[in-house]
Amino acid sequence: MRGKFKKAFLLFLFGALGGVSLAGCSNLFAVDQTEALQKTEIRVGVVLYNTEDPFVMRIYDSIVACAEQEEEISHTKIIVDVLDSEYNQSLQNTQIEQLIKEKYDAIAINLVDRVEASNIIDKVKDAEIPIVIFNREPVPQDMNKWNEVYYIGSHAAEAGEMQGKILLDAIQKGRKIDKNGDGIIQYVMLEGEPGHQDSILRSYHSIKALEEAGLKTESLAMDTAMWQRAQAKDKMLEWIEKFGNKVEVILSNNDEMALGAITALEEKGYLDEKTIPIIGIDGLDQALEAIKADKMLGTVLNNADEQGRAIFSKLYILAANKSSQFVLDYQSTDKYLWIPHQIITKENLK
Ligand code: GAL
């Protein structure tokens, strides 16, 4: 029997029912160890939309670290093979066909184009190879095409709301954001890929949070920098040229782009975030450094380590044909698992 995500279950209760939860990474799920492991070797494929994205690579690193830990604990050989789809959906489709042909036990997929999951799901369903899609959320119609398709991610709207909250908290603590005193917050928004759920919802909900708190806002400019630092730097240089000191806040759909904006500000002689506050999302190490150095007001932790741990756990259980129950207190349904975000500012950074 294959595992399904179940509503959170208390670990001690599961213990009392006779199951033993594994230590290490698959302790996200209570695996019934009385069931014999049906395989001595499992092979999982991890297909990434591109391998130059630091956030996605952090998820991947966590998957690999978990596989290594689990191999030691379970004495099952665990092979994790990674494929780079190089921003190319048709290349990704071919790569997945290859993994199907080679009879991988389970596949984790970071789609290139999140609305192009349908064909992939048809193929893995025919081959009966379960998949865990992550980070780029397919549309519900595709998710519902087969039982053995799972999604692990974080709620995009929540990240946007938290960005708004970071700014609101700063204002409440006396930070003057409205530099020109016109009663309106003039902002620029660096956006991720068009059509990506994290671009659309993060942008929308960050502003909504501000407006719901009674602030008036005005967008001076918003444009995509495709999640990338270099593109964000160029965009920001353009905006500084155009708007100069009129920019009162820089909201960025991710940290990479926020870091690009910082470089642009530094080049143009705006020395730190005290001049123009910048808020990102992801919680990359370099963003945390920038916050400590007062170059960024804050970020929202998009917990890549925990997402990787959950992805590995699910893959392992699916690949090993074990039954399982979801045990940690994360929001989940049969097919979806959501890892919560967390606000990071200088105050809670040690
Ligand atoms: C987002 C993340 C971005 C980028 C994107 C790729 O969740 O915040 O930095 O990695 O996923 O899909």
Pocket test of ligand 1: the residue of 50, 51, 56, 151 to mutate, having most ligand atoms within 8 Å of its CB, is 56
Can you tell me the mean pLDDT for 278-298? 97
Residue 34: band (very low, low, confident or very high) from pLDDT cuts 50, 70, 90: very low
- What's the CATH number of domain 5-154+304-339, 3.90.1150.10, 2.90.10.10, 3.40.50.2300, 1.20.1250.20? 3.40.50.2300
What are the two backbone dihedrals, phi and then psi, of residue 87, each rounded to the nearest 5 degrees?
60, 20
Token pair of 135, please?
């980070």
CATH topology identical between 5-154+304-339 and 157-301: yes
Q: Where are the beta strands (DSSP E) in 49-153?
A: 77-84, 106-109, 131-134, 149-153
**DSSP codes joined into one string, 139-208:** PHHHHTT-TTEEEEE--HHHHHHHHHHHHHHHHHTT----TT-SSEEEEEEEE-STT-HHHHHHHHHHHH
How far is residue 157's CA from residue 339's CA, in Å, rounded to a whole number? 13
Residues with CB under 6 Å of ligand 1 are: 53, 55-56, 135-136, 192, 198, 227, 254, 256, 281-282, 302
Name the CATH topology of 157-301. Rossmann fold (3.40.50)
Residue 333: band (very low, low, confident or very high) from pLDDT cuts 50, 70, 90: confident
What are the two backbone dihedrals, phi and then psi, of residue 284, each rounded to the nearest 5 degrees?
-65, 150
Check residue 342 and give its pLDDT.
Answer: 98
Token pair of 237, please?
């240089």
Share of the chain above pLDDT 90, in %: 77
Give the highest mean pLDDT range of 2-11, 69-78, 222-231. 222-231
User: Which tens digit of pLDDT belongs to each residue from 267-278?
Assistant: 998 765 557 999
C-alpha 187 – ligand 1 centre gap (Å): 22
How far is residue 315's CA from residue 31's CA, in Å, rounded to a whole number? 13
C-alpha 113 – ligand 1 centre gap (Å): 13
Torsion on CA atoms 305, 169, 278, 290, rounded to nearest 10: -50
Check residue 317 and give its pLDDT.
Answer: 83
Indicate the pTM of the whole model.
0.90
Strand duo 184-191 + 216-224: pairing: parallel
The answer to whether 40 and 77 are in contact (CB under 8 A) is yes
Token pair of 266, please?
């530094």
Bigger pLDDT: 230 vs 327? 230
Check residue 350 and give its pLDDT.
Answer: 75
**DSSP codes joined into one string, 217-272:** EEEEEEEE-TT-HHHHHHHHHHHHHHHGGG--EEEESSHHHHHHHHHHHHHTT--S
Residue 9 has pLDDT above 50, yes or no: no
What are the two backbone dihedrals, phi and then psi, of residue 275, each rounded to the nearest 5 degrees?
-80, -55
Residue 25: band (very low, low, confident or very high) from pLDDT cuts 50, 70, 90: low
Can you tell me the mean pLDDT for 267-291? 88
Check residue 117 and give its pLDDT.
Answer: 98
How far is residue 279's CA from residue 228's CA, in Å, rounded to a whole number? 15
User: Which tens digit of pLDDT belongs to each residue from 41-51?
Assistant: 999 999 999 99
The answer to whether 39 and 321 are in contact (CB under 8 A) is yes
Task: Give me the count of residues in the chain.
Answer: 350
Mean pLDDT computed over every residue of the chain = 88
Residue 32: band (very low, low, confident or very high) from pLDDT cuts 50, 70, 90: low
Can you tell me the mean pLDDT for 216-241? 98
Residue 210 has pLDDT above 90, yes or no: yes
Check residue 18 and give its pLDDT.
Answer: 27
Residue 26: band (very low, low, confident or very high) from pLDDT cuts 50, 70, 90: low
Residue 226 has pLDDT above 80, yes or no: yes
C-alpha 347 – ligand 1 centre gap (Å): 25
Residue 29 has pLDDT above 80, yes or no: no
How far is residue 178's CA from residue 161's CA, in Å, rounded to a whole number? 20
Three-state SS at 86: coil
In the sheet that holds 77-84, the strands lie side by side as 77-84, 41-48, 106-109, 131-134, 149-153, 336-338, 331-332
Check residue 324 and give its pLDDT.
Answer: 54
Check residue 332 and give its pLDDT.
Answer: 77
Which numbered atom of ligand 1 lies nearest the CA of 153? 7
Residue 161 has pLDDT above 70, yes or no: yes
Check residue 323 and give its pLDDT.
Answer: 55
What are the residue ranges spanned by the domains of the chain?
A: 5-154+304-339, 157-301
Residue 250 has pLDDT above 60, yes or no: yes
C-alpha 305 – ligand 1 centre gap (Å): 14
